[in-house]
Chains A and B, each alone.
Chain A
Amino acid sequence: MIVSTEMLITKAGPSRWYQLDRSRWYDAGLGIGSVIALFVLWAVAAVITNHHHAGLVPTPVQVAKTLANLTTHKFAGHTLPMHVLSSLSRWGLGFVFAIVLGVPLGILFGAIRLVREAVSPIFEFLRYIPPFAWIPPAVLWFGSGQTSQALIVFIAAFPAIVISTQVGASNVDPALLRASRTLGAGALRRLGEVITPISLPGVFAGVRVAASNGWMALIAAELIGGRVGVGFLIAQGEDNGAIDIVMVGMLAIAVTAAILDLVVIALSKRLTRWRKSAA
């Protein structure tokens, strides 16, 4: 059995949080210290570079001020929350399409061997083309508007969902399927009550990757073209030489990605509550 060092530490240590040994507090202190050091270094770098190129590296305080400013004042046509919401709407569109098409395809791959063997080599080859490489043809097909951006999200999210669904579906023990069939469950009930619950945890692993891939690809698409969205906000900030706005945009992108991830995890925990331990 493989025991991680973490487990050894917890096993050896006391059981209640307030009894944590002193070295844990020490570790936490080191962590906080290094994060503070990061911000101090940033501020120092900002002050030094401002002597020669004003605005090339804004201070943390400036970025915080710009953040507060952008939540109420419009830049590049909208306020920061509106840019984020606009990006999220296109992300949602592409993502929902990826799930609606990807999950059935994954189940098909998992269930029928010939389909898997015939389609997966092509699928695998297409996967070697990064989602960003689809931005040029998307521009050819739909121009650089909302449709092509949602398409990019779809292309980035789709493979992870198909593959994880396939893996999840192939986890289903055929004996269980035969048993439920013998006990009189129809095809729909088998799908709903046997295949779905068993493959769900695997599917969610893919959904998590897909959500973050889709968000990343959307930002790239928005950087290249469009009129609204966080990526567009960053691109406009760059064009105006406003690095503080670029940094606020980066922050918004990272925070949104983290929130999306938390939502997917929460959803996955809720839908697979019957599992004894989360993967």
Chain B
Amino acid sequence: MPTLADATTTAHKNGHGDTAIGARRRNRRGLGNFEQWRRFAIGLASFVVAIALWYLATDGLHLVEPLKLPSPVSVAQRLQRMAVHPYVRHTLWGHASASIQVVLLGWLAGGLVGAPAGVMMAWSRRFRAVTYPVFHILRPISPIAWIPLAVTWMGIGVQARVFIVFIAAVVPWVVNSMEAVRSVDPMLVRASRNLGTSSLGTLWRVVLPASLPTLMAGARVALGNAWTSVIAAELLAATSGLGFVALTAANALDSKTTFGAMVVIGAIGFLLSALMRAVAKLLAPWAKGL
């Protein structure tokens, strides 16, 4: 089963390299800055237009009934209210932090298991021979399909959700870590071995630094998958969290809260991704096109 992980690894390898070099050349000529500002301006303008259209369709001309699509103003007001007054036991911040906690726990657990497993799968042929078939059998079972099982085994508490997020995150962790190590130039490895470094020493001092950019890309994909799956898990097995808020509100025909929750879900997804990019730049500044 292809996951976003596969697509991103290939994009990372094939697509981004060229564009990064192109952008760098443009920067040297001094055009990069103008280009960036132009893009930013166009993007901002289109956002303003989109929100204006949304406003016109709802409060402006009343084309859509508020139950189907509430106006941006009413959604903003609802969010403001939820920031202070609790909605189903928690405020907006409480629900958001519940979601984020589950995501981070599951993502970290996925990394603690998946990254070493992926590295070892690429590094040791024996390890790969033992683990890869099992990984391949379990992998096509989508994290979503695990939800009913997780609920039966662990109830609708935090555990079940962390488990689901773990399942969603561990696959890109493994796949990209494996890919990262395998894409290291074998010449470097042989050189290091010839110069007398042990197998583990080579892994630690040559292979890992060289594969760090791809590893970081994998971490980002894993976090994206984790965020996606936590929302699904919260729709089915939660008493808090943004997905839970969105569905509870929809069932109560409270469209303002549903759309408010979705805006926050999108914003947090965006922030998590931006954060991972910043961390990747910090840890592996030599990586291109992250």
Contacts and interface: CB of A to CB of B under 8 A. Distances in A.
Contacts of A134: 262
Interface residues of A, number: 72
A56 B152 contact: yes
A246 B148 contact: yes
Interface string B1-25: 1111011001100010000000000
B133 A133 contact: no
A162 interface: no
Nearest to B153: A56
Contact of A114 (B42, B153, B185, B267): B42
Nearest to B254: A140
Q: Report whether over half of chain B's contact residues are helix, strand or loop; otherwise say mixed.
A: helix
A194 interface: no
Interface string A160-179: 10001001000000000000
Interface in B34-72: 38-39, 42-47, 50, 67-68
A20 interface: no
Interface string A222-258: 0110000000001101100101001101110111011
A33 B130 CA distance: 8
Contacts of B269: 128-130
Interface in A254-268: 254-255, 257-258, 261
Contact of A247 (B46, B149, B228): B149
Interface string A106-142: 0000000010011111100110111111111101110
Interface in B143-185: 143-149, 151-153, 182-183, 185
Chain B interface bracket (under 10, 10 to 19, 20 to 34, 35 or more)? 35 or more
A24 B270 CA distance: 45
A35 B137 contact: yes
Contact of A246 (B134, B152, B247): B152
Interface stretch (A95-103, A181-189, A208-216): A208-216
Nearest to A246: B148
B148 to A, nearest CB: 4
Given A32-B133, A219-B142, A257-B140, 7 more contacts: A4-B183, A8-B186, A31-B133, A117-B42, A128-B266, A132-B243, A133-B246
Contacts of B185: 2-3
A122 B132 contact: no
Contacts of A117: 38-39, 42-43
